[in-house]
Structure 1
Amino acid sequence: MLRVFTVLFIVTGLGAIGYGGYQLLKTELSVQNNLEEAKEVISQKQASKKPTEKDIQSFSPQEGDVVGILFIPRIGIETPIVEGTDPDELEKGVGHFATSAYPRQNDQVVLSGHRDTVFRKMKDIEIGDIITVKLPHGDFSYKIAHTQVVGADDRTIIKSTAPNEELLLTTCYPFNFVGNAPDRFVVTAYPINE
């Protein structure tokens, strides 16, 4: 009887590991496909015409749309930005918090991603690193000012900062936690005047 229980336990464990590996591979492939789509969308739009201020202020994509690329060169992150932060969107890349602004809309821009997929390297981020948000109407760079850890349910960090623009990146914390993490790691960055 003990032998049957042991075999059953091992088979169940291997099944769980296999399913986890499948999910990770599926997400990686989705992110890569959406990154290619984002590159195509950006290059087509940027080549077509110079955006007006009205284009920038009215930029408001539909939920699930691939809208751009988040690029953090020092730690090697280049991932698509998808409108929305539901699980379906977060499987495609970094999610844009729907009620937040986009670059040059003079308010808080909030992007969230999973710590075990697109933000896996976020633990290596440093104050002063440059973050670039690439959209169809231009590339927008930010410099990291500070990081903090807040509770998983703390929504006070997501707020209007109008007329001042700031970029917030959020992910689950601790980075090596198994399961639903109790906290969030938050990166705050400010626009670089060009």
Structure 2
Amino acid sequence: MKVKMLSFLLMTAGLAIFAYGGWKIFDMNRQTDISLTEAKEAIASSQSVRSAKHPSAPASFKPANGEAAGILHIPRLGAQLPIVEGTSPDDLEKGVGHYKDSYYPKQNGQIVLSGHRDTVFRRTGELEIGDKLKIELPYGSFEYEITHTKIVDQDDTSIITLQHEKEELLLTTCYPFSYVGNAPERYIMYAKPL
């Protein structure tokens, strides 16, 4: 009798964990879709303003935390990912997080975008040196080319320099890609503006 009860409890716990995981994936995809729609709307409305000879100044572009700021296009992967201001767990559930103290295109500094390896950046391991990336924002579209990659320890924050000397794009995600649980390293992709 005790074996049957233990088996029942283990099966119930397994189903609950499976259901919770399924819900989290569904909810994250839903939030990402909402953020992508918001980003597309912001870009579309600003394009009509720009075409009316009122361009947004890149220096004044500072979205609020959690706000959809733009879109990251990764042509090789056929990906169109919303960029959300901030890198808190809630922000990263909505899309690719923009590290809040980093810069945006044409602000002449380091642009840092982060995402989960098992959601928005699940296929980044397929990217190669020379692949193109495009950031679309309310004040314009900007292209980049991946120049090199690096793997660092999860606690290594030295790659985020927040330098304000030249424009560079960094994409960061957890590594190894197939690791189960909290990954011990970070995968960094560096890209230069074209």
TM over 0.5: yes
Find the counterpart in structure 2 of residue 160 from structure 1: 162
**159, 184, 187: which one pairs with 1:185?**
187
Aligned residues: 191
**Contact (CA 8 Å) 1:107, 1:164: kept in 2 or not?**
yes
Find the counterpart in structure 2 of residue 174 from structure 1: 176
Q: 1:76, CA displacement in angstroms?
A: 2.0
Give 1:151's aligned amino acid: D
Unpaired runs of 5+ residues, structure 1, are none
Name the SS of the counterpart of 1:187 in structure 2.
strand
Find the counterpart in structure 2 of residue 32 from structure 1: 33
CA distance in 2, matches of 1:51, 1:96: 25
Q: 1:118, CA displacement in angstroms?
A: 0.6
Name the SS of the counterpart of 2:19 in structure 1.
helix
CA distance in 2, matches of 1:168, 1:143: 11
- What's the % identity of the aligned pairs? 49
Give 1:95's aligned amino acid: G
CA distance in 1, matches of 2:60, 2:54: 11
- 1:1-194 equivalent positions in 2, closer than 5 A: 1-49=2-50, 50=53, 52=55, 55-192=57-194
**Contact (CA 8 Å) 2:101, 2:162: kept in 1 or not?**
no
CA distance in 2, matches of 1:87, 1:190: 28
Unpaired runs of 5+ residues, structure 2, are none
Name the SS of the counterpart of 2:40 in structure 1.
helix
Q: 1:51, CA displacement in angstroms?
A: 5.9
RMSD: 1.2
**Contact (CA 8 Å) 1:77, 1:121: kept in 2 or not?**
no
**Contact (CA 8 Å) 1:84, 1:95: kept in 2 or not?**
yes
CA distance in 1, matches of 2:14, 2:173: 27
Q: Provide, for residues 52-107 of structure 1, a one-character-per-residue CA deviation record: whole Å limited to 9, x for no partner.
A: 5x711121111111110001011122111010000111111000000100001111
TM-score (structure 1 length as normaliser): 0.95
Q: Provide, for residues 115-158 of structure 1, a one-character-per-residue CA deviation record: whole Å limited to 9, x for no partner.
A: 11111111111111100010000001100001111111100000
TM-score (structure 2 length as normaliser): 0.95
CA distance in 2, matches of 1:90, 1:77: 16
